[in-house]
Amino acid sequence: MPDTGSDTGSAQGVLVLAATPIGQTGDAPPRLAAELAAADVVAAEDTRRLKRLTSELGVTLTGRVVSYFEGNESARTPVLLAALLAGERVVLVTDAGMPSVSDPGYRLVVAAVEHDIRVTAVPGPSAVLTALAVSGLPVDRFCFEGFLPRKAGERSRRLSGLLREERTMVFFEAPHRTQAALAAMAESWGGDRAAAVCRELTKTHEEVRRGPLADLVAWAAEGVRGEVTIVVAGALARAEVDSDPESLRAAVAEEEASGATRKEAIADVARRSGVPRREVYDLVHR
């Protein structure tokens, strides 16, 4: 049975963020079935998927089942919070992976924390970590960037802001926007940047395509199907810059020539040289 202990208030309930399989039902963590069976309330992103999952796990739900998805998250959060305050155990599941990671759940977690309600998790499958592990790219330092903006201009600005990111980056993307996302990355960071597109992870038709962004753009032109996670190598570490005026001006000019804005170039050169940003600014504009 699940641990029903609480942190500070025994009268309050517990919010359980339960990870669900991203492909194979057999990957479900052992605690998932026990938590679902013991829940007073199960909040599910898709109640139909929950029904299939519980059937495959051989679980009979005894608690109430409510939908909790992007469209009703704001309105349903106070209802679930009331259940928690009344002492109920609320288990939150999404379609795949960990709730609140690019899925509904964050609002409820914040509300629970604000009311000193215990929040715990059933750890399990993660598309982010799975894609990172199989990508063949550095895993010692990474960041998760979620979904890119759908509009081209906003997407370009987001990618420009990641131009100097040295950590390996992980993105989620819809299959019909995968080629556009890869093309925008190649335009912003260069077609030779190493990347991997991970499709249908852990499923029957799992596929991992590795290569420079330019090659992946050409591959995606044929169409991409299924759940997609993109992993991209970070920028190479930038060399330090000498602090003499001519070196600083030249470094800023080089950054601008590579696509950075004047503001971004000055900030980067200031960091690499150890010279205050204001001094670099004055040198460039003098």
Q: Indicate the domain borders of the chain.
A: 14-125, 128-232, 245-285
How confident is the model at residue 8, as a pLDDT?
Answer: 40
How confident is the model at residue 9, as a pLDDT?
Answer: 40
Q: Tell me the DSSP string of the chain.
A: ------SS-TTS-EEEEE-B-SS-GGGS-HHHHHHHHH-SEEEES-HHHHHHHHHHHT----SEEEE--TTTHHHHHHHHHHHHHTT-EEEEE-SSB-TTSSSTTHHHHHHHHHTT-EEEEE----HHHHHHHHS-S--SSEEEEEEPPSSHHHHHHHHHHTTT--SEEEEEE-GGGHHHHHHHHHHHH-TTSEEEEEESTTSTT-EEEEEEHHHHHHHHTT---S-EEEEEPPPPPPPP---SHHHHHHHHHHHHHTT--HHHHHHHHHHHHT--HHHHHHHHH-
How confident is the model at residue 267, as a pLDDT?
Answer: 86
How confident is the model at residue 220, as a pLDDT?
Answer: 97
How confident is the model at residue 264, as a pLDDT?
Answer: 85
| Domain 128-232 is found in CATH 1.10.3660.10 | no
pLDDT string in tens for the chain (286-residue length): 566 444 444 478 999 999 999 999 999 988 999 999 999 999 999 999 999 999 999 999 999 999 999 999 999 999 999 999 999 999 999 999 999 988 899 999 999 999 999 999 999 999 999 999 999 999 999 999 999 999 999 999 999 889 889 999 999 999 999 999 999 999 999 999 999 999 999 999 999 999 999 999 999 999 999 999 999 999 887 677 888 888 888 989 988 887 788 988 888 888 888 888 888 998 888 7
| Domain 14-125 is found in CATH 3.40.1010.10 | yes
How confident is the model at residue 3, as a pLDDT?
Answer: 60
